[in-house]
């Protein structure tokens, strides 16, 4: 009950913003492009030097070169990894990254999940976004699913100074958002979700804060070691 009350201000704010058309809805599927998959390069075998008066030693065959490395992409419904730079296409091109996730057990006996999002507007006009409403903990370690959203009370309990509001990102502007939400005591987040389109909400149940979910898992990407440069509109892989 208390968790629901904490979410009410954001529900009302979103309703007002959606009615005025302020928030920007992204309907295209997000994508992560891996430019440098982690490939083990075989070590070449030594070449034997002939010695006069001794039989010529025949070396083992030279190890084959590794296969040509080609980028590959991750798309929903696969969850992205913490740290992945996830892109959306035009008309609203943007880059999203889950930077960090932590847990705070408060002296009052509550557990607060804290997560940091980085968003960059790659489009040619303003991107109106409300991260404190659009993002939430969607799964806990152990498999329990739900909607554990951000609240100002959780931020205060975690010792954070946070102002939750909708903002407009100018073209090429990057902002970081630190969000905090109550989760069951002793739990830890396993999935963080960001709803890319807050203007279209599914009918209950469940009462989600939008549609077109971008989901991160907590592990770092085991398959890639770098990120591509911010791409111009239209050069991302097809959906």
- Give the residue-averaged pLDDT of 115-123: 96
The per-residue pLDDT of the chain, averaged, comes to: 82
- pLDDT for the residue 159: 93
Is the predicted pLDDT of residue 69 greater than 90, yes or no? no
If one compares 135 and 236, the residue with the highest pLDDT of the two is 135
Half-sphere exposure in the Cβ direction for 18 (13 Å, CA):
16
Cα–Cα dist 84/127, whole Å = 21
pLDDT tens sequence across 86-103 = 999 988 999 999 999 999
- pLDDT for the residue 71: 62
If one compares 73 and 152, the residue with the highest pLDDT of the two is 152
Q: How many helices (H) and strands (E) does the chain have?
A: 3, 13
- pLDDT for the residue 163: 83
- Give the residue-averaged pLDDT of 135-164: 94
DSSP run (H or E) holding 176: strand 174-183
Is the predicted pLDDT of residue 66 greater than 70, yes or no? no
- pLDDT for the residue 220: 93
- pLDDT for the residue 58: 56
- pLDDT for the residue 14: 45
Tokens of 167: 């903002």
Is the predicted pLDDT of residue 12 greater than 50, yes or no? no
Q: pLDDT band for position 4 (50/70/90)?
A: very low
Q: pLDDT band for position 15 (50/70/90)?
A: very low
If one compares 54 and 113, the residue with the highest pLDDT of the two is 113
Is the predicted pLDDT of residue 18 greater than 50, yes or no? no
Is the predicted pLDDT of residue 47 greater than 60, yes or no? no
- pLDDT for the residue 46: 55
Q: pLDDT band for position 227 (50/70/90)?
A: confident
Q: pLDDT band for position 207 (50/70/90)?
A: confident
Cα–Cα dist 71/76, whole Å = 17
If one compares 91 and 116, the residue with the highest pLDDT of the two is 116
Sign of the CA dihedral 165, 170, 175, 181? positive
**205-220 burial, b for 16+ CB within 10 Å, e for fewer?**
eeebbbbbbbbbbbee
């Amino acid at each position: 009950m208390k968790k629901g009350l904490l979410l009410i201000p954001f529900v009302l704010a979103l309703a007002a913003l959606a009615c005025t058309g302020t928030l920007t809805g992204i309907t295209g599927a997000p994508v992560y492009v891996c430019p440098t998959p982690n490939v083990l390069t075989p070590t070449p075998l030594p070449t034997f030097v002939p010695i006069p008066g001794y039989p010529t030693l025949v070396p083992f065959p030279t190890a084959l070169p590794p296969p040509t490395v080609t980028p590959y992409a991750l798309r929903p419904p696969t969850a992205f990894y913490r740290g992945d730079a996830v892109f959306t296409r035009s008309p609203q091109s943007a880059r999203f990254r889950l930077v960090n996730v932590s847990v705070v057990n408060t002296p009052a006996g509550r557990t607060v999940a804290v997560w940091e999002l980085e968003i960059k507007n790659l489009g040619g006009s303003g991107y109106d976004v409300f991260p404190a409403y659009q993002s939430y903990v969607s799964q806990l370690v152990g498999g329990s699913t739900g909607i554990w959203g951000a609240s100002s009370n959780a931020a205060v309990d975690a010792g954070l100074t946070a102002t939750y509001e909708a903002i407009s990102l100018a073209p090429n502007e990057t902002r970081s958002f630190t969000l905090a939400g109550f989760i069951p005591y002793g739990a830890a987040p396993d999935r963080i979700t960001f709803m890319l389109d807050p203007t279209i909400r599914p009918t209950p149940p469940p009462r989600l804060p939008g549609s077109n979910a971008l989901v991160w898992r907590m592990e770092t990407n085991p398959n890639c070691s770098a990120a591509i440069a911010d791409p111009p509109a239209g050069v991302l892989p097809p959906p």
